[in-house]
């Protein structure tokens, strides 16, 4: 099945969280399921916070990259365009908020589910949650902004 990240052109596929070209990264893959997007990810033993539980920074990065993928896909869809088609709609994180509702157990697959809350102008707001064994342990919001031509200047 085609993941949203499979459509990222190589020159924007180096992100530590979602870039297929980053051998050291998480290389998450996100799929559209109706109105929702879904990423499944199994943390490694070294992604530990307190023994037995997942490190919060990892969980935040899963929300982050799940959110930017959801945002890019939503904008393409809103414009009636094929994902990844040129000119490429590149999104970066403008803001990321994460609430850790419960400890996230380490040792199994996590499911991140998201949906678009708002899509307006150059900005897409995505809500996403992490589930461990069907239990919501993390809830977050990503404001993704279209990357300006002046990015980094």
Ligand X SMILES: CCCCCCCCCCCCCC(=O)SCCNC(=O)CCNC(=O)[C@H](O)C(C)(C)COP(=O)(O)OP(=O)(O)OC[C@H]1O[C@@H](n2cnc3c(N)ncnc32)[C@H](O)[C@@H]1OP(=O)(O)O
Q: Which is nearer to ligand X, 22 or 103 (CB)?
A: 22
Q: Which is nearer to ligand X, 70 or 137 (CB)?
A: 70
Spell out the residues 6+ positions from residue 68 whose beta carbon is closer than 8 angstroms to its own. 18, 91, 92, 93, 142, 144
Q: Is 122 in the site for ligand X (CB under 6 A)?
A: yes
Q: Is 38 in the site for ligand X (CB under 6 A)?
A: no
Q: Is 57 in the site for ligand X (CB under 6 A)?
A: no
Record the tokens describing residue 153, joined without a space: 């200047």
- Per the CB < 8 A criterion, the answer to whether 47 and 106 are in contact is yes
Record the tokens describing residue 101, joined without a space: 């509702």
- Which of 38-46, 50-58, 88-96, 103-111 is the region at the interface with ligand X (rule: CB under 6 A)? 88-96
Q: Is 20 in the site for ligand X (CB under 6 A)?
A: no
Of residues 36, 97, 107, 151, which one binds ligand X by CB under 6 A?
151
Spell out the residues 6+ positions from residue 91 whose beta carbon is closer than 8 angstroms to its own. 68, 71, 72, 75, 124, 144, 145, 146, 147
Of residues 49, 55, 56, 90, which one binds ligand X by CB under 6 A?
90
For 8, 15, 23, the CA distances from 84, given in Å and listed in that order, are 6, 16, 21
- Per the CB < 8 A criterion, the answer to whether 147 and 80 are in contact is no
Q: Is 123 in the site for ligand X (CB under 6 A)?
A: yes
Which residue ranges make up the site for ligand X (CB under 6 A)?
Answer: 7-8, 12, 15, 17-18, 64-65, 68, 72, 83-84, 88-95, 120-123, 143, 145, 147-148, 151
């Amino acid at each position: 099945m085609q993941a949203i990240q499979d459509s990222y052109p190589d020159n924007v596929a180096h992100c530590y969280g979602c870039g297929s070209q980053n051998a050291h990264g998480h290389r998450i893959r996100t799929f559209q399921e109706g109105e929702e997007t879904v990423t499944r990810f199994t943390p490694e033993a070294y992604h530990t916070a307190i023994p037995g539980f997942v490190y919060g920074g990892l969980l935040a990065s899963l929300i982050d990259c799940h959110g930017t993928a959801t945002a890019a896909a939503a904008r393409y869809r809103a414009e009636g365009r094929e994902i990844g088609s040129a000119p490429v709609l590149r999104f970066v994180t403008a803001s990321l908020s994460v609430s850790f509702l419960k400890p996230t157990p380490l040792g199994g697959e996590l499911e991140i589910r998201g949906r678009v809350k708002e899509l307006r102008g150059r900005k897409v707001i995505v809500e996403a949650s992490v589930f461990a064994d069907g239990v919501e342990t993390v809830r977050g919001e990503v404001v993704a902004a279209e990357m300006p031509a002046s990015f980094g200047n």
